[in-house]
Amino acid sequence: MARFTGRTAVVTGGGSGIGAMTARRIASEGGTVILVGRTEEKLKRTANELKDLEGTVLTCVADVTKQADIESLTSFVKEKTDSLHILINNAGGSQGSPILEMSEENWDHAQSVNLKSVFLVSKALGKLMLDTAKENNSLEDLSIVNVASLSGHKAGAQIPHYSAAKAAVINFTRALAVELSPYIRVNSVSPGFVETPLTEAGLKNERFEASIKRNTVLNRVGQPDEIANVIAFAASTEASYMTGSDLLVDGGWLIV
Ligand code: NAP
């Protein structure tokens, strides 16, 4: 039996990059995946790319910074599935700016999309995961994976709001792991520099790309599937004794 057969997962930010590749991993191993994001077209395009895989792929338009949208998402999940086993809190990003020029709105948005969304979605869907598992009398391995960042472990120029939010995600993951134990395992994955729509503009600058490679022990930028593989592992029963951990997938950046 494939690793995710009979399992249902919600992937926020599932319309592109790391989220889309994580959805592909889970669906290719038999899981049902609900892709969440703000742009319907992007979600539909990704769902279409995944339609021939073993699992089922559904889409739900929602802004994970908005409580009303999260309530709609919760209703959608209830309507479409009889249980939720996996939540991947992957939506995130930021607009770079030096601290001394950063607007309050920019700061607040980074906290909202990267950190507060993890709280709001985990609260709503964590409860749904527990309720449906109890109803079905199957409190077997349930799992939340939060996508943090290498930037949550170290400082980076012009992303102080993002670094602060991602560091908080790593520690919030530990707090959630304690509170939701023993039923839901909660872990985070911290990617290094990965080629996705988020980093596309930066990678067009050859000098910038060269500096990324220089800083990375493996001497290259990461690919979304290399992060998705680790997220899928943390979400799967193979990681059944792991909770409150952060898995750093950074090509060796942090060790030097
Ligand atoms: P991406 O392709 O831009 O993915 C981010 C996704 O989040 C998009 O599909 C976006 O879709 C969605 N999103 C953004 N704001 C949202 C909101 N308010 N509500 C719902 N969905 C929202 O970039 P990515 O690199 O794959 O990023 C995925 C995660 O990895 C992020 O948390 C990012 O911080 C983290 N990460 C990335 C890197 C990297 O180098 N790429 C490194 C470390 C960590 P819509 O705009 O359509 O909503």
DSSP characters over 150-184:
GGGTS--TT-HHHHHHHHHHHHHHHHHHHHHTTTE
| Structure-block tokens of residue 85 | 């086993």
Q: Does the residue 92 lie in any domain?
A: yes
Is 141's pLDDT higher than 90? no
Q: Does the residue 198 lie in any domain?
A: yes
- Mean pLDDT, the chain, integer: 97
Domain that holds residue 129: 8-255
Please name which of 223, 226, 238 lies closest in space to residue 2, comparing C-alpha atoms.
238
Active site residue 162: yes
Phi-psi region of 236 (alpha: psi -120 to 50; beta: other; left: phi over 0): beta
Q: Does the residue 234 lie in any domain?
A: yes
- Looking at residue 76, its pLDDT comes to 98
Q: Model confidence over 6-58: pLDDT tens digits?
A: 999 999 999 999 999 999 999 999 999 999 999 999 999 999 999 999 999 99
Q: Does the residue 3 lie in any domain?
A: no
Please name which of 153, 18, 38, 41 lies closest in space to residue 89, comparing C-alpha atoms.
18
- Contacts for 28 with CB less than 8 Å, ≥ 6 apart: 53, 54, 55
In DSSP terms, 59 is beta-bridged to 35
| The residue to which tokens 């601290």 are assigned | 99
Q: Does the residue 14 lie in any domain?
A: yes
- Contacts for 82 with CB less than 8 Å, ≥ 6 apart: 132, 136
Of residues 4, 76, 162, 193, which has the active-site annotation?
A: 162
| The residue to which tokens 């059944």 are assigned | 240
Ligand 1 mutation pick, 12, 33, 34, 38, max ligand atoms within 8 A of CB: 38
Is 138's pLDDT higher than 90? no
Q: Are 11 and 36 in contact (CB under 8 A)?
A: yes
Q: Does the residue 1 lie in any domain?
A: no
- Contacts for 203 with CB less than 8 Å, ≥ 6 apart: 195, 209, 212, 221
Q: Are 108 and 95 in contact (CB under 8 A)?
A: no
Q: Does the residue 63 lie in any domain?
A: yes
Q: Does the residue 2 lie in any domain?
A: no
Q: Are 12 and 36 in contact (CB under 8 A)?
A: yes
| Structure-block tokens of residue 26 | 């889970």
Domain count, the chain: 1
How many whole angstroms from 215 Cα to the centroid of ligand 1?
A: 23
Q: Are 86 and 62 in contact (CB under 8 A)?
A: no
222 lines ligand 1 (CB under 6 A): no
162 lines ligand 1 (CB under 6 A): no
How many whole angstroms from 139 Cα to the centroid of ligand 1?
A: 30
Ligand 1 mutation pick, 196, 221, 248, max ligand atoms within 8 A of CB: 196
The Cα 169–Cα 33 span in angstroms is 23
For residue 68, the domain's CATH number is 3.40.50.720
- Looking at residue 80, its pLDDT comes to 97
- Looking at residue 136, its pLDDT comes to 86
